[in-house]
Structures are given as C-alpha cells and as structure tokens.
Amino acid sequence: MATAGPISAIRSLAERPENSRCAECLASGTTVASLDTGGTFACNACAIAYRKAGLRTKSIERDRWQEAEVAAMQGNLAVAQQLERNLPAFYRRPLPHADADVIRQQFVLAKYKRKEFTDPAMQVAYHRLCGGGFSKEGALMKRLKDSDKYLPRHFELSEKNNYLRYFVKDGQREAKNTIPIDQVNVTMLGSAVDGHPNLMQIMFPQGSRTRSLYVYHDEDQEIINWYNAVRGCKYYRYQMSLLSADELRQLTLTYDFIICDWLCKTGPNQTEAWKRRWCFLLRRSIFYFTNFMEPLAKGEIWLGERPGFSVESGAPANFKKKPVGHIFTLRTPDRDYVFSAETQDACRRWIYAIDEVLDSQPTPQDFLYSKTRSNSA
C-alpha cells in the first residue's frame, strides 16, 4: 500500500483540533510548525516570536518535510502537558493577533527557553511558593508627572498588605502612592504609544478620576514579571474573597485597550473647536487625553447600558459645526459626544467596539470604576 507521504502527513497532523489552534495564543488557524519546541503548531505572529527566540520554524504548506521530522512532531497538547504543567492560572498568555510584542516574546521564552512553567520554583519573581502571600520590590523607571523624563522609583507589591506602592527616594517612610491591589489595572502598552517598548501603564481610581503611572524596566523579563506579579496578587486576593473556582477562571484580572487612536472631539455645546485627543476604550470607559502618557485623562465617559447609551455614525440632527473626518456620536443620558476619526475604517471600528461594550452587562467589578466619572471638558 502506498504511503501518503510526509506532506499530507504534516497537513493532517496540523488539522487535528489541538493543533489547529496556535500553541501559544490559541488563535484558530496554524500556518507554521517548529521542531525546536518539541513539535508545536503556531500562528504567524507567534512564529515570529519563535524565530526571535532562536527556535526554527517551517511552513506547513510551503516547506519540504521529511518523514522523520513529521514523526518527531509531538503536537500542541503533548508539548503543553509537559512545558505548561505548572503554568499559573493568572499568567497572561499572548492574545491572538494584536498584543504587546513583549508579552508574546516573553511567553515563548519562558515556556521553551527558561522552562519556567515546568517548576514553580522558577517562578519566584512573580509567584508565591507557599502560603503567607507574595511580595516583590525593586526599581522601575517611572515617567515624571509633568515631563517626559523617567527616573528610577522604588516599587513594592504586597499581597498580604494589599498594596502596590512606590517611593520617590530609597529609605523614605512615606509612599508617594499606595494603591489597593484590587483597584489597580496594569496594561502593557507595546506599540500602542510612542515610547519605550516595555512601557506598562498602571491605572487606579484617585478621587473621582483615574490616575495613570507609566513605568518600564530595561529587562523585558523583569517588566513581565512585575506585570504577572500584579495579576497573581489580584488572583489570590480574589481567591480569598470566596469566589468559586469557576468564577475565578472567568475573572478578568487586568484589562487592555479594546481600541485606541487619535480622535477629534468637540465640547458639550458642539460649537467648540475640534480638538485632537488621544482616546482609548478600556473596560467600560472611553478615556480621552490631550496627549500620550498623561497622568490624568481630560475626560472619562462611562458606558452604561442601552437604551440610555447608544452609538451611531454621523452627527446629531441639530449639529451646527462643519464636520471633519468621519463622525460618530455617542449618546449618554448626560449629553451627546461627537467624535471624528481620520478614516472611515477607524470610525467603523470605534462604533463596533462601543456597540460590543453596550451589548454586554456591566459586572460588579466594572462599578469599581465609578459610573459617575465623566467630565464635560
């Protein structure tokens, strides 16, 4: 009987359900395989991370395959059972498609090069080994509040004491800011903004507004350790608050931008000049800033539920200003917000993203960030 040959063998292996999702980000549709990982199938984005990590890849469709190579492919499930056997539940996997490069790259390096997820003892930089709670301290470069300079600041994270705090000078008694862990959000900015590739945005409620700190570390691994350490502390704090295993699994520990872009907007009278604003949608709020990396947003718009809130393309009927770009209107019980995107595609993406949020029910955690926090600037 004739054998099907290595080409059809690798293709049928790639089509198995466990191999048709990327071994790293779980995106559906795999195009590339690597023997250096033990035999995993991955998407294009994760294949780039493989190659940067020195792991060779082969195209499933375009490259020549030898029978011995196909036989050596263990597949995504077998490799994960081995190399992710102690992957902490809170550790952030890369997401399909767009995600901060540093998250994808460090996941690949941690899994295959450092083999961090095989042994909890290798996770001490972001994971507690036993009871008593996790703590971490060290210097991070922090952007100054009123300038684009960065200076080292001493940061401390304590699961037991429930805080992330930082000090301006070593040995100082009083922390500059002390943030309860359940109120802190960390986002790896990646290429979303101009700046250091390792930039992490730390957000927390301050009074009726949301404060942002911007920090980085020169070592990719260390900033990702901090990022996952914050997630780990949140995870264990939630675990203590009697959430069931199922609720814990569904918990979003940290939030990323759903969409971000420069948009123009007018003021509440809709006669004010168009002003360019750096905007992002995070969780259930649109934040708009005069510039990148400011400590406080110019405004925050809470997205509640329909029918009080809605979004549509175009300006309101009585809109008096000369339209620029591609306009959409966000209606809230307080006022209409008129935004303008540079391209029609960007306009459509914002409407789609806002619609998705409005279609979902706010969770109790969403209300941590108050729904009253919007201003009319």
State the residues that interact with Zn ion by CB under 5 A: 22, 24-25, 27, 43, 46
Q: Which 8-state DSSP code applies to residue 316?
A: -
CB of 106 to Zn ion, least distance (A): 14
Q: Which is nearer to Zn ion, 23 or 199 (CB)?
A: 23
By beta-carbon proximity to Zn ion, the closer residue of 33 and 46 is 46
Nearer to Zn ion, 49 or 253 (CB): 49
CA–centroid distance for 277 within its chain: 21
Q: Shortest Cβ distance from residue 24 to Zn ion (Å)?
A: 5
Residue pair 152/140 in contact (Cβ under 8 Å)? The answer is yes
Among 180, 155, 297, 172, CA closest to 233: 180
Nearer to Zn ion, 46 or 199 (CB): 46
- For the record, the structure tokens of 61 come out as 């469709």
The least CB distance from residue 73 to Zn ion, in Å, is: 17
In the complex with Zn ion, the residue whose CB is nearer, 20 or 239, is 20
One-letter amino acid for residue 372 of the chain? T
Distance (Å, whole) CA 23 – CA 131: 31
Strand-pairing partners, residue 137, are 156
- Given the complex with Zn ion, which of 28 and 244 has the nearer CB atom? 28
Length of the chain equals 377
- Provide the minimum distance between the beta carbon of 254 and Zn ion in the complex, in angstroms, as a whole number: 20
Give min distance, CB of 256 to Zn ion, in A: 16
Sheet holding 275-282, edge to edge: 299-302, 285-289, 275-282, 257-265, 336-341, 326-331, 310-313
Output the smallest distance, CB 333 to Zn ion, in A. Answer: 41
Q: Which is nearer to Zn ion, 46 or 188 (CB)?
A: 46
Q: Which is nearer to Zn ion, 25 or 279 (CB)?
A: 25
What gap in Å lies between CA 30 and CA 71, rounded to an integer? 18
- For 326-364, the DSSP string reads EEEEEE-SS-EEEEEESSHHHHHHHHHHHHHHHHSPPPG
Alpha-carbon Rg for the chain, nearest whole angstrom, is 23
What is the Cα 97 distance to its own chain's centre?
Answer: 12
Closer by beta carbon to Zn ion, 108 or else 281 = 108
Q: Closest approach of Cβ 366 to Zn ion, in Å?
A: 29
Measured from the CB atom, the residue of 22 and 282 that comes closer to Zn ion is: 22
CB of 82 to Zn ion, least distance (A): 19
Using CA atoms, how far apart are residues 233 and 212, in angstroms rounded to an integer?
Answer: 19
The answer to whether 349 and 257 are in contact (CB under 8 A) is: no
CB of 345 to Zn ion, least distance (A): 24
CB 107, min distance to Zn ion, A: 10
Q: Which residues of 176-213 are buried (b: 16+ CB within 10 A; e: fewer)?
A: eeebebebbbbbbbbebbebbebbbbbbbbeeebbbbb
- Any idea what DSSP says for residue 283? T
